[in-house]
Homo-oligomer: A and B are copies of this chain.
Amino acid sequence: MEYCVTTKNNDSWYIGTNDFDLFKADKTEAIMFQGNGYLGIRATAEERNLNERRDMFVAGTFDAFNDEVTELPNLPDLLNMEIVINQRAFSLSTGLIENYHKHLNLKNGELVRSFDWLIDGNRISFKFSRFVSMSDVHLFVSKLEITSDQSDLSIKLNSGIDGQYSNSGTQHLVEGDKRLFDGKILQMQEKTQQTNIGFAFNVTQKAYIDEVLLKVKPNIRMDRRQIFDEYNVDLTKGEKFTFVKYANVYTTIDNDVGHDTISDISMDAIKRSSLLNYDELLNKSTNAWNINVWQRSLISIDSDDVKPQVAINFARYQLAANTPKDSRMNIGAKGLTGEGYKGHTFWDTEIYMLPYFTFTMPEMARNLLKYRYLGLDGARKKAKANGYWGAQFPWESAWSTDGEMTPPWGSVDIVTGKPMRILSGSLEQHITSDVVIAVMQYLSITKDERFAEEMGYEIILDAAKFWASRLEWDPARKKFVIDNVIGPDEYKEHIDNSAFTNYTAFWCIQKAIAVVGLLRNSNPEIYNELNLRLKLDDAYQDWISKVDLIFLPKPNEFDVIPEDDTYLQKKIIETTQYQSDGGHAKIFKDYNLQQINDLQVTKQADVLLLVFLFEDLFSDDIKLANWNYYEPKTTHDSSLSFSTHSILASDLNLADKAYDYFERACEVDLGTGVGKSAQGLHMASIGGIWNMIVEGFGGIRVLDGQLRIEPHLPSKWNSLHFEINWHGSLLKIDVYKDTFQVSVLGDAITFINHNEIYHVAANSKIEIPISIEVNVED
């Protein structure tokens, strides 16, 4: 396992680099991203560099340019510090740089960059520190320290708000007022072109020599979309220049402030913030990180190799930094870390990220699921537009209520010159099942009856209505089939009876039938209300009449479940050379999509995802047979693929494979693959890091509402310790080589281990020996 970042003194809470390559910076910019779920800033430098991607986003502030789908606008830059010393413009590419260190403290999100700049015979020491606050989500504070023991310095510093950035050339923001308040607060207001979301950005700055606040009045510099303070400071040899920049951003869709007055509110806020110094504000943020994130659930790995612990710390840091607490918005496929996928949300949240939140921060999971509830109207519209009933969830979604946001047209086929239709928005229909899977998992783990009654049941029932209407009768098979979809294997478009799609549709209808039964018996009031709105009596009859006639692709004579109606009849090729690191699609160098459609090649876990998620439907033999069949045919062109493979390999006791896929998943972002994270981090793969450790190595699973614990500790690890919530109790699970312990804080719980049911009394502990039959790996 090789990472592009190093730790500091083997401390798993620090990632960074002691080297810089300005032409490869776009990867570490994403990895050392800073955010708090509201505000996100890439780890570009304060001074501008070529090839940087200087992105700042606020979650949920979607806007459309012309007739494109909405995306998160790249906001005015608050990082900028333009430094001229002794007439020399500072840049990493002039003079010499020594002692370069750039490290992100994952514990509190502080990014520190320090180095010596050797120029014109002088050695000048720089230290930049900054953080996006976790205690005040609007706040971003940065600090610059400059000193030289060799000569006096004449420092010119320009710093402020720079709104000349865009989304790769596309500009969403209309310039509003630029103002100077009280002679010291810079403010810029902007609004989005079409969605009319207002922004107020504020900056106030303080300069010190040897801790003494300077009384210098900066010059104000304004240009189009720009407002800066210009400081001119003379520094005597040996003195330290310190510069602190307080910045904030407020929007008219913030749910914590009045919307009409963000100019005043944000200005008052920056005034209050600037009463405290950098360390005081950082301490508040550090406390918030501890309370909101780190104290919520421990996860620690005892291993000679620090990298797995770095990976899980990194994953939890990024999940916290990129997840909005506002249920009107969700986690983008790239979080807030880059322009990729326009900030849109996919099934990545439900299948790859929600397990972490549901098990450790149920209130966050609830927000993320409420987002789907708020999206029901859009999902109903989509269903209706396509001729179906119920709710068909959008493949890509942005603002909760805006419905389908998949761009209808993709890039142009450069040979024919015709734009290519993006089909996932209409054909990748399993997203509706994925939402139900996550809702059911949330209900099983939390027993949150209120959520079920207020939101969860309605999602499940309306999803089932969609699926029931989606089924088509096949007179030959005498079964209900689902034609013309895209499954998780996106290499295959327009396929019939995708195993993943059909099984999950069947399961959704089963769950809805169960919900109706439950409500009719135990909660008639709610049933009647839902029945009135959703016509449940009719729907129930429909489900009952169809559910047992749904065509479920059965394992063939070799126990292999066909991915779809025709997959197993297609040509088999050697796939090794096309195995990907989760990104670059090497197979397209030799085949075009039409040709790949005729091969037994799979982009990512598809049938394997099915047998992982619905393991109670399939025997171990079938799981192994499908692993052996599909795993060699999978290119992992989607970064979503590795974690499923790792967990399933753990389940199947394929320890080496499980660990190999674990490492490959960690390397999707943390690895050395150049350019891989330029468009942003792979949030689903990052969610998968937790899943692999807890669900794979930790062996945690929810099966038909029951908790199962069957750890598979990697041989390189001495022990694994983690915490999850179950039915309101906190479970601390310690996994050792030969045994594992479950300690319960709270009410008594039960769990299954190798088909045995274990009861753990309230606030007590149990220890169980581990015995694993190791499968022979190929």
A residues at B contact (CB < 8 Å): 23, 48-50, 65-67, 89, 91, 93-94, 163-171, 174-175, 177-181, 183, 193, 220, 222-225, 227, 411-412, 414-415, 417, 419
Contacts and interface: CB of A to CB of B under 8 A. Distances in A.
A67 B176 CA distance: 11
Contacts of A89: 23
Contact of A166 (B94, B171, B411, B414): B171
Contacts of A179: 412, 414, 417
Given A93-B91, A222-B414, A169 B168 contact: no
Contacts of A49: 50
B411 A222 contact: yes
Contacts of A23: 89
A65 to B, nearest CB: 7
A168 B417 contact: no
A193 B66 contact: yes
A165 B171 contact: no
A170 B225 contact: yes
A75 to B, nearest CB: 11
B414 A178 contact: yes
Contacts of A175: 170
Q: Kindly name the residue among A91, A171, A174, A227 whose own CB sees the greatest number of chain B CB atoms within 10 A.
A: A171
Given A91-B93, A414-B222, A169 B165 contact: yes
A224 B169 contact: yes
A180 B225 contact: no
Given A48-B50, A50-B48, A89-B23, A169 B163 contact: yes
Contacts of A169: 163-166, 171, 224-225
A667 B295 CA distance: 67
B180 A417 contact: yes
Given A166-B169, A170-B225, 18 more contacts: A48-B50, A50-B91, A65-B171, A66-B193, A91-B93, A93-B93, A163-B169, A164-B169, A168-B223, A168-B225, A169-B171, A170-B171, A177-B412, A177-B417, A178-B414, A179-B412, A179-B417, A180-B414
A21 B164 CA distance: 23
A414 B164 CA distance: 19
Nearest to A47: B50
A19 to B, nearest CB: 15
A169 B91 CA distance: 23
10 contacts: A50-B91, A165-B169, A166-B166, A168-B224, A170-B171, A170-B224, A178-B411, A178-B412, A178-B414, A180-B417
Contacts of A93: 91, 93-94
A728 to B, nearest CB: 47
A417 B224 contact: no
B174 A66 contact: yes
A411 B164 CA distance: 16
Contacts of A177: 412, 417, 419
A396 B62 CA distance: 35
- Closest 5 A-B residue pairs measured CB to CB? A164-B169, A171-B171, A180-B414, A179-B417, A93-B93
Contacts of A180: 414-415, 417
Contacts of A50: 48-50, 91
A25 to B, nearest CB: 12
A462 to B, nearest CB: 36
Contacts of A227: 414
A65 B412 CA distance: 27
Contacts of A65: 171, 174
B178 A168 contact: no
B91 A181 contact: no
A223 B411 CA distance: 9
Nearest to A179: B417
Contacts of A171: 65, 166, 169-171
A622 to B, nearest CB: 42
A669 to B, nearest CB: 20
A549 to B, nearest CB: 46
A339 B23 CA distance: 29
B411 A181 contact: no
A88 to B, nearest CB: 9
Nearest to A589: B219
B174 A168 contact: no
Contacts of A183: 415
A146 to B, nearest CB: 19
A472 to B, nearest CB: 36
Nearest to A164: B169
A415 B412 CA distance: 50
A339 to B, nearest CB: 8
A84 to B, nearest CB: 9
Contacts of A415: 180, 183
Contacts of A225: 168-170
A683 to B, nearest CB: 20
